[in-house]
A and B are shown apart, each in its own frame.
Chain A
Amino acid sequence: MADVSLKSIRKSYGATEILHGIDLEVKDGEFVVFVGPSGCGKSTLLRIIAGLESITAGDLFIAGRRVNDVPPAARKIAMVFQSYALYPHMTVYKNMAFGLKFARTDRAEADRRVRRAAEILKLTPYLDRKPRDLSGGQRQRVAIGRAIVRNPSVFLFDEPLSNLDAALRVNTRVEIAKLHRELNATTIYVTHDQVEAMTLATKIVVMNQGRIEQVGSPLELYHAPRNLFVAGFIGSPRMNFVKGRVTAVTPEGVRVAHACGETLVAADAGHAGVGDTVTLGIRPEHMSEGEAEGLRLKGQVEAVEHLGEATYLYMKLTDGTDVVVRAPGDTAAVAGASLTIGASERSVHLFDAEGLALPRRGEAHPPRAAVA
């Protein structure tokens, strides 16, 4: 068992606090992705788990053991770095075997593990090469191999794909997902790319400015973002936000007046009352041209992007709000045209003045407890 448990972890450099009390439970075998904009503290948090950064306050447990003061090597973790961090003067084989030498692994066993890892990662033909003679993708696989041979209980990945080109990134992403299924080890993965987060994770941790914004499965975050930040961060293109004002709170939901009229959103008003400013959130893929039941917006098309299977319409509403609509690939809309767009009321999210989501009717409340 290799649970990782963080209890109000704080990290400061001098007077600047980077992490403001992080609480998180990672269960054995989970694939957890830390995602957030750069500078949000996700890499620092990973390095803390690895033992490469000290903890200012709080406790860190790996497999039930408090490891605050345990050096990285004794934590049974293995880390894959963004820059690969291969030893440039050693061959691929030595790169992978280097760590085992110090773990007092028996020679034959070390050899067996390295060859097995090389086989899994299709690196066998390259074992005698130096890192400089490998391509980016191969180097990344060596870095992963070096992690595998150590038989860690927890794998840590620090933006492992950001140095690869787009095609290779997709490939390696699939490889990592497969690897996780095979090895079934607890994995913590840091990225700023929400697509990586959505595709790989069993649990996503969205971070912002040293705090956890929300923890949940990819679809939970997609369908029930806790606040404006998560709503805007998860999903591509990002969710559209339209400002509005509460005009009535009825048993069916909340009536909101906005630039193009009024809409009933099926949400609990909570503490929001008539007259409060709110934000409507609608994902581009939930909007369509023409009239729809529920939300109706009017605006002008400013740009059109044809992707083949879909077309993105970049629009400006009458009050100046920018909105993106994912229309079918064969849409007739052209730049400059005036257009009415709509979304079903079930796909509309509602956020109060502080940016917190108002729970939608018929849905469980977002997991507020996960946030400190």
Chain B
Amino acid sequence: MSLPLRPRRMAVHGALLLYTLIAIGPILLILLNAFKTRRAIFSDPLGFPDGRSFTLIGFDSVLEKSEFGLYFLNSLTVTVGSLALVVVFGAMAAWALTEYRFRGNTLLALYLAIGIMVPIRLGSVSILRMMVEFDLVNTLTALVLVYVAQGLPLAILILGEFMQQIPRDLRDAARCDGVSEYRIFFSIILPLVRQAIATVAVFTMVPIWNDLWFPLILAPGDGKQTVTLGVQQFIGQYVTDWNAVLASLTLAIAPILVLYVLFSRHLVRGLTAGAVK
């Protein structure tokens, strides 16, 4: 590297480092304090738990006093269900929009692009009315439907971009080989956009898992609460059980972390190397 660039590079790294700290800070704070007594949380919020301040009381109360397992399962069902639908329908729609020329193609693509720009929460009232009419209030189905709608536009955009980069010769070769359009999609296109799917999965999954808004509106009833909503019962108007809140948040981070690691393994570049040229 040439010398004049050095200070600039250092500045860039400094900025990135600072951002990492800001991003990781809250998570670390949650993790640290989840294992501390209430007293230690307030007297020394940044300290590590030691022999005197270490406690698992938060986890105890979460697991005993609430139906945390159920909340957890609800969150997982909603997230995985929505994720699967977004990826499958998103990929199919992206393929149809990029590969086939049909009447209304551009219009449809534009319509879906608008979905990226308009926040779905603007439609909360209408969505709630619709769910009431379909008798879907207080069901996980309602949440899945909303999240699929929320995730699809971006998924289609990203996957479409990637699919456009797949050389036309590959599809033509498959067509000459007598592979049906469905098999071309599932056996050739999907494996080739694996990394894009991983990207889409991460982008889709995190907001769904973390969402409080729609569970609060559409499925606040007993037995249908998600983790984010379930945690709210420990936050009272007058008293907040910080141990329990932090413990449940710690537990809530775990699965999303596992899913992330799972997908990020597929964020490997150069998968198409060797296909052409």
Chain A residues with CB under 8 Å of chain B are 47, 50-52, 71-74, 77-79, 81-89, 98-99, 102-103, 130-134, 136, 139, 146, 150, 163
- What's the nearest-Cβ distance from chain B to residue A11, in Å? 16
Minimal beta-carbon separation of A18 from chain B (angstroms): 17
Most A CB within 10 A of own CB, among B169, B176, B191, B192: B176
Q: A85 CA to B274 CA in the complex, in Å?
A: 9
Asked if B275 contacts A72 (CB within 8 A), the reply is no
Residues of B with C-beta under 8 A to A52: 172, 175-176
Supplied contacts A78-B176, A81-B172, 20 more A-B pairs, CB within 8 Å: A50-B172, A50-B176, A51-B175, A73-B178, A81-B169, A81-B173, A84-B276, A86-B275, A87-B275, A88-B192, A88-B275, A89-B192, A98-B179, A99-B179, A102-B180, A130-B274, A131-B275, A132-B275, A134-B274, A163-B277
Judge if B188 is at the interface, Cβ distance under 8 Å. Answer: yes
Q: Quick check: is B223 within 8 A (CB to CB) of the other chain?
A: no
Whether B274 pairs with A132 at a CB distance below 8 angstroms is yes
- Measured between beta carbons, the chain A residues less than 8 angstroms from B176 are 50-52, 72-73, 77-79, 99
Q: Is A88's CB under 8 angstroms from B172's CB?
A: no
Number of interface residues of B (CB under 8 A): 24
CB pair A85–B275 under 8 Å, yes or no, is: yes
Q: Is B121 in the interface zone, CB < 8 Å from A?
A: no
Query: Which residues of B are found within 8 Å of A84, using beta-carbon distances?
Result: 169, 275-277
B262 close to chain A: CB less than 8 A: no
Taking CB atoms, residues of chain B closer than 8 Å to A73 are 175-179
Residue of B nearest to A84 (CB): B276
Q: Which B residue's beta carbon lies closest to that of A80?
A: B173
Q: Given the complex, which residues of A lie within 8 Å of B179, measured CB to CB? A: 73, 98-99, 102
CB-defined contacts of A78 to chain B, threshold 8 Å: 176
Residue ID in chain A nearest B274 by CB atoms: A132
In the bound complex, do residue B169 and residue A83 qualify as a contact, i.e. CB atoms below 8 Å apart? Answer: yes
Distance (whole angstroms) from the CB of A274 to the closest CB of chain B: 55
CB closest residue in chain A, given B273: A132
How far apart are B41's CB and chain A's nearest CB, in angstroms? 51
- Please judge, given known A-B contacts A85-B167, A87-B188, whether A102 and B177 are in contact too, CB under 8 Å: yes
Interface of B toward A, CB cutoff 8 Å: 167, 169-170, 172-180, 183, 187-188, 191-192, 271-277
Q: Is the CB of A87 within 8 A of B271?
A: no
Choose among B175, B177, B183 the residue that contacts A150 (Cβ–Cβ < 8 A). Answer: B177
Q: Do A83 and B167 form a contact, CB below 8 Å, given A88-B192, A130-B274?
A: yes
Q: List residues of chain B with CB within 8 A of the CB of A139.
A: 274
Selected A-B contacts with CB under 8 Å, 11 pairs: A52-B176, A72-B172, A81-B173, A83-B277, A84-B169, A84-B275, A86-B276, A88-B275, A89-B191, A99-B177, A102-B178
Contacts of A146 in B (CB 8 A): 173, 177
Contacts of A99 in B (CB 8 A): 176-179
A78 CA / B173 CA spacing, docked (Å):
9
Q: Contact between A88 and B169 (Cβ–Cβ < 8 Å)?
A: no
For B183, list chain A residues within 8 Å (CB): 102
Residues in A with CB closer than 8 Å to B177 are 73, 98-99, 102, 146, 150
> CA separation between A83 and B173, bound complex, in Å?
10
In the complex, what's the smallest C-beta–C-beta distance from A64 to chain B, in angstroms? 21
| Complex contacts, B276 vs chain A, CB 8 Å | 83-86
Q: For B190, give the chain A residue with the smallest CB separation.
A: A89
Contacts of A81 in B (CB 8 A): 169, 172-173
Considering the complex, give the chain B residue whose CB is closest to the CB of A139.
B274
Given contacts A85-B173, A88-B192, A89-B191, contact A136 B178 (CB under 8 A): no
Contact: B272 with A85, CB < 8 Å? Answer: no
Of listed B177, B179, B188, residue having the most chain A CB within 10 A: B177
Contacts of A47 in B (CB 8 A): 172
Contacts of A136 in B (CB 8 A): 277
